[in-house]
Amino acid sequence: MAKRDYYEVLGVARDATEADIKRAYRQLAKKYHPDLNPDNKEEAEAKFKEINEAYEVLSDSEKRARYDRFGHAGVDPQNGGAYSQDFGGFGDIFDDLFDIFGGGFSSSRRRQGPVRGADLRYDLTLEFKEAVFGTEKEIQIRRTENCTTCQGTGAKPGTGKSTCPTCNGAGEVRYAQRTPFGQFVRTTICNTCGGTGEIIKEKCNTCDGSGKVIKTKKIKVKVPAGVDTGSIISMKGEGEAGDRGGPSGDLYIYINVLEDKVFSRLGNNIHVNIPISFTEAALGAEIEVPTLEGIEKFQIPEGTQTGTEFRLKNKGVPNLRGYGRGDLYFTVDVQVPTKLTEKQKQLLREFAKEMGDSFKENKKGFFKKMKDAFN
């Protein structure tokens, strides 16, 4: 089955920047990660592998240049003759001129060195108080690791690699070409060894010569106090394994915090609404205020109006950088009684009279009065 175009796989244009390619990869890797697609794991694994393969090539400037010029053949060391085509065009002549006059074209194609592994993303959802006070979570990720059977060499244990007979270990091949301007020398990556200068005699049975295997790993994550939705925790070296001795990538954990039924958060401050009775508001009272650590007593003054806001200092969220805390703000909501006994009504009538209120029961509603006025 023919491979899809790598740019098409990542959904980017051929002139996409490194940032565009990385952004597209992260979005697709998250979408098709096998752990996030348990109902369609086989198809997700295939797409995830295809995405990683495309990113490995397009994120490497040297591999991308070869791919842009020769297609899939340019990055497949097993595909013979990939670099022997199109030698008659003027583009090749100018490439050769770069080689001769020291333009550096050849040096960019020399033997491939260590390549850092790709970064991984994991989305972690936390309860409200877990984010406030910090916690420790165990997560599972699927990633490529160096094969332990061959120690990442790709060679069957007991065997090794040998010098590439095509390039004699140089990782590149030089071609002489006669043109109307004279003889020019062209240097290209060796298509037998893919620029490594070595070939595997017998492939490792575990990784089939790739030196890599996909494994599920459990990782403990220490979540610091004060994180919020959008916070990112980085774990160095917990990403994909590197190539040819390169370091592993990093793991980035993106935090999402669930809403709480009682508290709401704004920055490092906590907000909560507290209902109080008409009597408590009028006479003042000691009320119970819920905080993150439990219930606290607070004396509200007499005559407190609904919507009044009070503050408890240092009862909010710990600062993520490790110093101080935010505050807790609570707003009181005076509850007007809806069902009164006849005795309670009589007491309120007397209260109104004592206050000098002009009070008439069963007043017509506003819209009723408007209707009557027009009639």
Q: Is residue 292 part of a domain?
A: yes
Q: Is residue 245 part of a domain?
A: no
Q: Is residue 6 part of a domain?
A: no
Q: Is residue 166 part of a domain?
A: no
> What is the separation of C-alpha 347 from the centre of its chain, rounded to a whole number of angstroms?
63
Return the structure tokens found at 305.
């109006």
Q: Is residue 327 part of a domain?
A: yes
CA distance 273 to 287: 13
Q: Is residue 236 part of a domain?
A: no
CATH of the domain at 317: 2.60.260.20
Q: Is residue 300 part of a domain?
A: yes
pTM for this one?
0.59
Please give the chain's pLDDT, 375 residues, in tens: 567 889 989 999 888 898 889 889 888 988 888 778 878 878 888 888 899 888 989 998 888 888 887 777 777 755 433 333 333 333 343 444 444 343 443 433 444 668 888 999 999 999 999 999 999 999 999 999 999 998 888 889 988 888 888 888 888 888 776 655 566 677 788 888 877 788 888 889 998 888 889 999 999 999 999 999 999 999 999 999 988 788 999 999 999 999 999 999 999 999 999 999 989 999 999 999 999 999 999 999 999 999 999 999 999 999 988 789 999 999 999 998 888 898 988 888 888 787 777 655 555 555 555 566 555
Q: Tell me the residue range of the domain where 280 lies.
A: 264-370
Q: Is residue 157 part of a domain?
A: no
What's the domain count of the chain?
1
